[in-house]
Amino acid sequence: MRGDARVPERRYWPNFLRGEPQEIHARMLENDPLRLRERCAVRLRERWLLIEPDRAFLRAAARVALSVALEDPPADLELWALERIDQALEQILEADRQAELAGDPLDEEQRMFPLLTDGLLVDRERVRAVGLAFHALDELARRAFFELMIEGREVQEVLDSGPWDANQLHDRLTSALRVLGFVLPVRTRNFTDVYRKAGQKAP
């Protein structure tokens, strides 16, 4: 062995991630030392997913607690936490798909989604089906809905920052609104005459 060979530094879980899974889970829910609630909300917007943020947080906290018992400490704890959040989101989507296929009744966790039930007046019993229909849309349709309807950005700003012209942006948004239960007519107007991307000259 060469004298200058270095032994890799041993990694340890921080104190708040030590103990039994039940203890870690309780710690995540009580103190949220990994800021999972905030990061879940951000991640839902980054991926344009229509999942109730509290539901995402609860699943992510459980995913963290179980993963600690099965994995070695990571080099980047923040990246590791983000990966656990993505795993939690995928678990929610798959659980909803399987439950809908099986015709299972919705549990209270699935019914509780104020954005849909209070904001968009979706019947509580249809929350899961509406969410699945929304997630079956292409990413650009989900992105248009989030940026215009959730984040409340200006049309021109969304148009300039996205890979679409005004007609495409309109059509993506209306496709998302239709799966949420809104009855909307087919576009008959050319919106590129009204909204042009930055730097685009009038014909």
Residue with tokens 């708040």: 16
Amino acid 188: pLDDT: 92
Q: How many residues does the chain have?
A: 203
Long-range contacts of 159-165 (CB under 8 A, 24+ apart): 159/195, 159/197, 160/197, 160/198, 164/140, 165/192, 165/197
Residue with tokens 């994995």: 71
User: pLDDT tens for residues 164-200?
Assistant: 999 999 999 999 999 999 999 999 999 998 898 876 6
CA 60 to chain CA centroid, nearest Å: 12
User: pLDDT tens for residues 113-137?
Assistant: 999 999 988 999 999 999 999 999 9
How far is Cα 104 from Cα 110, in angstroms, rounded to an integer? 11
Average pLDDT over residues 96-114: 91
Closest CA to 48 of 142, 172, 169: 142
Contact 173, 148 (CB under 8 A): yes
